[in-house]
Structure 1
Amino acid sequence: MRILVVGAGAVGGYFGGRMALAGQDVTFLVREARANELAENGLVIKSPKGEARLSNVKTVLSARIDGPYDLVLLSCKAYDLEAAMDSFAPAVGPATTILPMLNGMRHLDVLGERFGKENILGGVCLIAATLDASKAIVQMTDMHAIVFGELDGAARPRGDAIAAALRTGGFDVDVTDAIVQQMWEKWVFLATLAGSTCLFRASVGAILGAPGGEAAMRALFDECAAVAASHGHAMRAPFEQRSRTMLFAPGSALTASMLRDIENGLRTEGDHVLGDLLARRKQDRAAGATPSMLELAYTHVKAYEARHAR
Structure 2
Amino acid sequence: MKILILGAGGIGGYFGARLVKSGAEVTFLVRPKRHEQLGRYGLAVKSPNGDMKLKVKTVLAEDLQPGYDIVLFTCKSYDLDSAMDAIAPAMDGHCALVPLLNGISHMERLDARFGAKQVLGGTAQIIVTLASDGTVLHLEPLNRILFGERDGSMSPRSTALAAALEKSGITTVHSDNVMLDMWEKVVFLSALAALTCVFRANNGEIMATPDGRVLVERCLDANIAIAVAEGFSPREGALKAYRARLTDASGKVEASMLRDLEGGKPVEADHIVGFMLDLARKHKIDDAVLAVAYTHLKAYEARRAAGRLK
* Cα-to-partner distance string for 1:156-191 (whole Å, 9 max, x where unaligned): 222211111222221111111111011001001001
Alignment match, 2:294: 298
Secondary structure (helix, strand or coil) at the match of 2:49 reads coil
Measured in 1, the distance between the counterparts of 2:278 and 2:68 equals 35
Measured in 1, the distance between the counterparts of 2:287 and 2:121 equals 32
Alignment match, 1:279: 278
* Pairing 1:139–2:138 present: yes
Alignment match, 1:39: 39
Alignment match, 1:9: 9
Alignment match, 2:19: 19
TM-superposed deviation, 1:256: 0.7
Measured in 2, the distance between the counterparts of 1:14 and 1:252 equals 24
* Cα-to-partner distance string for 1:208-233 (whole Å, 9 max, x where unaligned): 11121111111111111111010011
TM-superposed deviation, 1:195: 0.3
* Cα-to-partner distance string for 1:63-120 (whole Å, 9 max, x where unaligned): 1012231100001111111100000100111111000011111111110000000001
Identity of aligned residues (%): 42
Measured in 2, the distance between the counterparts of 1:183 and 1:153 equals 13
Measured in 1, the distance between the counterparts of 2:153 and 2:170 equals 24
Secondary structure (helix, strand or coil) at the match of 2:239 reads helix
Contact 2:148 2:175 in 1 (8 A): yes
- Aligned partner of 1:293: which letter? V
* Pairing 1:149–2:153 present: no
Secondary structure (helix, strand or coil) at the match of 1:177 reads coil
Measured in 2, the distance between the counterparts of 1:95 and 1:281 equals 38
Alignment match, 1:84: 83
What aligned pairs does 1:157-306 form with structure 2 within 5 A after superposition? 157-284=156-283, 286-287=284-285, 290=286, 292-306=288-302
Contact 1:223 1:292 in 2 (8 A): no
Measured in 2, the distance between the counterparts of 1:119 and 1:281 equals 30
Secondary structure (helix, strand or coil) at the match of 2:205 reads helix
Secondary structure (helix, strand or coil) at the match of 2:176 reads coil
Measured in 2, the distance between the counterparts of 1:275 and 1:9 equals 25
Contact 2:5 2:26 in 1 (8 A): yes
Measured in 1, the distance between the counterparts of 2:194 and 2:265 equals 16
TM-superposed deviation, 1:201: 0.6
TM-superposed deviation, 1:12: 0.4
Measured in 2, the distance between the counterparts of 1:235 and 1:72 equals 28
Q: Which runs of 5+ in 2 are unaligned?
A: none
Measured in 1, the distance between the counterparts of 2:146 and 2:184 equals 13
Q: Which runs of 5+ in 1 are unaligned?
A: none
Contact 1:127 1:143 in 2 (8 A): yes
Measured in 1, the distance between the counterparts of 2:252 and 2:142 equals 16
* Pairing 1:115–2:111 present: no
Contact 1:147 1:179 in 2 (8 A): yes
TM-superposed deviation, 1:133: 2.4
Contact 1:274 1:298 in 2 (8 A): yes
Contact 1:124 1:147 in 2 (8 A): yes
- Aligned partner of 1:245: which letter? A
Compute the TM-score of the two structures, normalised by the length of structure 2.
0.96
- Aligned partner of 2:50: which letter? G
- Aligned partner of 1:75: which letter? T
Alignment match, 1:128: 127
Contact 1:189 1:243 in 2 (8 A): yes
The ranges of structure 1 where at least 4 consecutive aligned residues each deviate by more than 4 angstroms after the TM superposition are none
TM-superposed deviation, 1:151: 1.1
Secondary structure (helix, strand or coil) at the match of 1:253 reads coil
Measured in 1, the distance between the counterparts of 2:144 and 2:23 equals 19
Measured in 1, the distance between the counterparts of 2:223 and 2:87 equals 33
Contact 2:222 2:287 in 1 (8 A): no
How many residues align? The count is 306
Secondary structure (helix, strand or coil) at the match of 2:142 reads strand
Query: RMSD in angstroms over aligned alpha carbons?
Result: 1.1
TM-superposed deviation, 1:291: 5.1
- Aligned partner of 1:158: which letter? R
TM-superposed deviation, 1:272: 0.4
Secondary structure (helix, strand or coil) at the match of 2:45 reads strand
Measured in 1, the distance between the counterparts of 2:247 and 2:85 equals 41
- Aligned partner of 1:309: which letter? A
